[in-house]
Structure 1
Amino acid sequence: MTESNTNNTTANSEIATLGGGCFWCLEAVFDKLNGVTSVESGYTGGQTTNPTYADICTGTTGHAEVVRINFNPSVISFREILDVFFTIHDPTTLNRQGNDRGTQYRSVIYYHSTEQKETAEKVVAELNQANEWGSPLVTEVMPEVTYYPAEDYHQEYFEHHPNQPYCMAVVAPKVAKANEKFAKKLKR
């Protein structure tokens, strides 16, 4: 596993790193969005060097399951990325998404620039003020830290295993919800 701490942002490319429960769900949704050039599942936010999935599952490494999204901000903005993010996971449950429990499933935005930090804080504040979820958001807004790609078998997991029971019960409904709500933003 190779670590990455790059902020490769240009006028046509930006990175977003988000944790919102199982990375299979997030990856499957963001892969379909126009302007997203790549999505990779990985780990960040912990103290263990080169963690494995088995390490992460212990809940002792401090890492979150995340997706690293490369996107073209002239096609899809960071704000729009966050709109999708807050639609497909519950940002009010601390260290939990559905039956998935543990710090690795926390809701977190790792920002890569001052602009991303400001946008993330503004969106969280707006959602809290609107009380859209009926409870306060627990989403952390943190600076980007060392990122480790997840093992190869996690990449494009939903695409390769759509009939796996977890994918059918958990991932597919999130993909369907995003496809319906963001139909105009999907790749053609």
Structure 2
Amino acid sequence: MKLMFTQALVSISLLSCALRESPQKNMSNDLMANSLTGSSTTSRKIDTATLGTGCFWCTEAVFQQLKGVLKVTSGYSGGAEVNPTYKEVSTGTTGHAEVIQIVFDPAEISFDDLLEVFWQTHDPTTLNRQGNDVGPQYRSVIFFHDAEQKAKAEKYKKALNESGAWDKPVVTEISPYTAFYKAEDYHQDYYNNNGSQPYCYYVIRPKLEKFQKVFKSKLR
């Protein structure tokens, strides 16, 4: 597998991802994260990836643009609390990370491709931090769904550290997937619904523009 890393893409850090919590609590686990309904997808073989790169608003907007990605859902993984809210996760005490769960067609895009995008669109050398977003909920993390995903994630991480792509060690957590809790509705499709807001305009938009240049051949 060829690595395409010439330099780290450090997050543009003008604002924080944090915002006032909606009063409505998310009460259900995303039990359908591993399947899609509809005649256009029923014949497809699909797979799932769960990744955290800091604020899920940025991550969601990036992966939504890739060919072969069928669904992107923002949510929480890695903690013990069941059905956590954004307000609870934002305290940094629940053990959860902000993540996206990606349902993808491996015939169109591979897990290797997703890992390449993952590591090139955030800074995996900062522990529990991305820009102004600080806390364990913003950690760089891969929650692997099977032994193959684990092996590939560990192989890429080792190769990156050996390549010297960054001047600091990659600290991305690689842990087994246990559960995913869908974030509140106002977090879903955030950039597309709130593109004129300051965080979207000054932080997410430049990240997307850089991503689109680097991964032009993989876009829809």
Give the structure-2-normalised TM-score: 0.82
Letter in 2 for 1:176: E
Task: Return structure 1 stretches of 4+ with deviation > 6 angstroms.
Answer: none
For structure 1, the 5+ residue unaligned runs are: none
Equivalents in 2 of 1:148, 1:113: separation in Å? 19
How many residues align? The count is 187
Give the aligned partner of residue 131 of structure 1: 164
Per the alignment, in what secondary structure is the counterpart of residue 42 of structure 1?
A: strand
Partner in structure 2 of residue 2 of structure 1: 28
Find the counterpart in structure 2 of residue 36 from structure 1: 69
Say whether 1:62 aligns with 2:88.
no
Change (3 A) 1:61 1:169: same
Q: Which runs of 5+ in 2 are unaligned?
A: 1-26, 36-42
Within 5 A, what are the aligned runs for 1:11-22?
12-22=45-55
Q: Give, in angstroms, the shift of residue 12 of structure 1.
A: 2.0
Q: CA RMSD in A?
A: 1.6
Instruction: Report % sequence identity.
Output: 53
Alignment of 1:85 onto 2:118: yes
What letter matches 2:113 in structure 1?
Answer: E
Preserved CA contact (<8 Å) 2:73 2:188: yes
* Distance apart, 1:4 and its partner CA: 4.3
* Correspondence for 2:130 among 86, 97, 105: 97
CA positional deviation for 1:179: 0.7
Cα offsets for 1:29-68 (capped at 9, x unmatched): 0000000000000001012111000001111111000000
Kept in 1, the 8 Å contact 2:90–2:137? The answer is: yes
| Match of residue 47 from structure 1 | 80
Deviation at 1:160, TM superposition (A): 0.4
Amino acid of the structure 1 residue aligned with 2:153: A
Pick closer, same or farther for the CA change 1:5–1:152 going to 2, 3 Å: closer
3-state secondary structure, aligned to 1:34: coil
Residue of structure 1 aligned with 2:60, choices 3, 27, 51: 27
For residues 192 and 178 of structure 2, what CA distance do their matches in structure 1 show?
A: 28
TM-score normalized by structure 1?
0.95
Q: 1:33 to 1:114 in 2, by over 3 A?
A: same
Question: C-alpha displacement at 1:7, in angstroms?
Answer: 8.1
